[in-house]
Amino acid sequence: MNFVLNEVLDAPGHYKKLGYDDLTPDFVDEINGAVASFAEEKVAPLYSSGDAEGCKYNSDSSVSTPKGYKEAYQEWSMGGWSGLAVPEEYGGQGMPLSLGVIKSEIIGTANWSWSMYPGLSMGAINTLLLHASEEQKQTYLTKLVTGEWSGTMCLTEPACGTDLGQVSTRAVDNGDGSFSITGTKVYISGGEHDMADNIVHIVLARLPGAPEGTKGISLFLVPKHLPNEEGELTGEESADNRNVTCVGIEDKMGIKSSSTCVMGFENSKGWLIGEPNDGLNQMFTFMNTARLGTAMQGVCHMERSYQGALPWCMDRASMRALSGKKYPDDVADKIIVHPDVRKNLLTIKAFTECGRAMIYDAALKADGMLNEDEAVREKCEEELGLHTPTMKAWLTELGIECSSLGMQVYGGAGFIKDYGMEQIMRDARISTLYEGTTGVQALDLLGRKIILDKGKELGKQAKLQIQEAFEIGTSSTAGNHNLRGHALEVAKLSTQWVTTSMRVVAGAASDREIVGSASTDFLMFSGYISGAYQWLKMMNAAGAALDANPDMDPADRSFYEAKLHTGRFYFDRLLPKAYALRDMSIKKPDSIMKMPIEGWDLATTLPSNSGNAYAGYKAE
C-alpha cells in the first residue's frame, strides 16, 4: 500500500498541493497502521462467525446482527473513524477523501460484510455534504459522522432495479417543509440493524405531477426515528413509533452478516434534499462513492484470497516438481513448485496489485469531489466518470475469478468451510450484481462516458498513458530492467483503445445493437489496458528504487524484484486477453441477436397464459 501511495502515485506531493502539509508518508502510515490494528483485533475475528450466525429478523421488525458486530461498531465510532475524511465543522477530522478509500481496503479485506455498515454511512455523508441544507447537515450529518447514526441508500423497488425511471415510491408535500413518503424498497443493505441508535435513509421518490422517467425523481432524507426540535432522539423510541419499518430480510448466498432488508415506507416523514426532480443527479454522488467502494470489494476479496492461499501453497506437499526434487528430504515437494499453482497465485497477486493501484489513483482524483469550487468538482467527476464503471465491473469480476483460484490451489479442501476460502467466493459473488451489474456498467462506459461524451475523456486518458509510456520507455530505468517493450505495448494498446471505440461507434450508426453486444467486451478490454498502465508505472518505480540504492536491505530488494517479476507475468500471461476482447468488441451482433424467439427452447413450451415473457414479443 505504501509503495503505491508514495513511490508510484506520489501521494505526499498530492496532499501537499491540497494544503495537507502534515500528511507525510510516516503520518499516513501511522493512520493506516491504526486501522490495521483495529481490523486484525476486532473485525477479522468476526468474519467466519458472522457468516455462520448471520443476521436475525425479530418479531418486532428489528434486526439483530451477529455476536460482536455491535461492539466492534461502537469501538469504531469512538475512534472517530467514520469522520476521518469529513470537514471539521461537522465533527470530522478534515482528511482527504482518499484516506477514507484506503481505510476501506483494510477493513473490507478483514471482513467485507461488517465494513458495509460504516461504508454505506460514508455514502450518505458525502451525499448530504454536497446536497443537503445546512439545517439537515447540523441535524443528521453530525450524527452520521460520530457514528451514533448510520446511513443507507434506498433506490431499488420490487419492480424496478437498474431502470430507476420506474420508481413508484410517492412523496406528498405536508405543507410544513416535510413530505410523506409511501412505497417499498428492496435489497437495502443495512436498512435495519442494532448497531446504531438511528438510521438515516436516503430515498428516491416521485412528487405529484413530476415528469415521467428519471427526470421526475427527487431525493429525500427519511430517518428511522424522528428527532426532536433539538435534533436529538427522545429515548422513547420503540417498534411502535418507528418512522420506517423493516418488513423482512433476505436469505442470501453470501455477505450473510450484512442485513439486506425490505423497507416499508407508509406515510413516513421525510425532507427533500436539494431541488425537486434532481434526485438522480444527487444520488450519483452516493452511487459513485458506492461504486468506488464496490470496486474496492473486488480488491479486498482478491487480497484475502491471496493471503489465504499463499500459506497453504508454501506448506502443502504433493507430488514432485517436473524438473526434479525441490524438497528431497520430504516425502513430496511443496505445491508452490508446480507451474499451475504458481500461475494461479501470480494471477491473484498481479490483479490485486494493479487493482489497488487503479483505485488509489482514482481515490486521489476523488479528493476534489468535496471541493467548494463547483468547477473543481465537475472536473473531478468527469475524470472519475470514465474510470468508475471499468473499475467497478472489471475488478469485481476479477474478485470472483481470484476467489475461485484461491479455492483451486486448496483442491478439495477449498470447498470445505473450515478453511475459509469458499466464504470469500460466496461473499464476492454479489459484487458484480449490486451497484449496477457488469452489463450495466459496460453500457454506462460505452454509451454515456464515451459515445455521449464524444470520446473526449477517453482521448485525454489515452493521450496521458501514451505520454507516460513514452517517458518511461525512454528512461534509463527502462533500459536497465527491460521495460521498453512493455512501455511500447501500453502506448499501442492505448491507441487501439480509442480506435476500437471509434469502430464501435461507427458500426452503431447502422445497427444500434452493436453498442449492447460490444459493451462488456469493450469494458473488459479497457480494464486490461488500465491494469497494464498501472503495472508499467509500478515496474518503473520498482526499477528506479533498485537503481537508486544498489546496496539496499535484502528484504527491500526482494520486495522490488517481486514487483518486476509480477509485472512481467501480467504482460506475458494476462494482458494477451486484451487482444481477444478487442476483437470481440468490433464483431457484428448477428450471432447474438439473430436467433429467433422460437429458437429458445422455453419459448416453444411455455403456454402464453403462464406469465410467459415471450407473449406479445415484437421482433422489430
Strand pairing class (217-223; 245-249): unpaired
Residue count of the chain: 620
Question: Where is 273: in which H helix or E strand?
Answer: strand 260-273
The residue whose grid cell reads 446482527 is: 65
* DSSP conformation class of 160: B
Q: CA-to-CA distance for 175 and 208, rounded, in angstroms?
A: 14
| Other CB atoms within 10 Å distance of the CB of residue 581 | 19
| Other CB atoms within 10 Å distance of the CB of residue 609 | 7
Find the catalytic residue in 7, 397, 401, 435: 435
The runs of H, that is alpha helices, within 134-186 are 134-136, 142-146
SS3 content of the chain, % helix, strand, coil (to 5): 60, 10, 30
**249-to-190, 193, 239, 428 alpha-carbon distances in Å:** 10, 11, 16, 19
| Other CB atoms within 10 Å distance of the CB of residue 287 | 20
| Other CB atoms within 10 Å distance of the CB of residue 131 | 22
The residue whose grid cell reads 453498442 is: 515
Q: CA-to-CA distance for 341 and 337, rounded, in angstroms?
A: 8
Residue whose C-alpha is closest to residue 541's, from 10, 83, 45, 118:
10
Largest CA distance in the chain: 83
Coil, strand or helix: which one is 529? helix
Known catalytic membership, residue 435: yes
Cα separation of the two ends of the chain: 53
Which amino acid appears at position 24 of this protein?
T
Which amino acid appears at position 316 of this protein?
R
Q: CA-to-CA distance for 292 and 123, rounded, in angstroms?
A: 10
Give the side-chain half-sphere CA count within 13 A for 411. Answer: 6
C-alpha torsion 27→31→36→38, nearest 10: 140
> Residue 361: phi, psi to the nearest 5?
-60, -45
Could you list the active site residues? 435
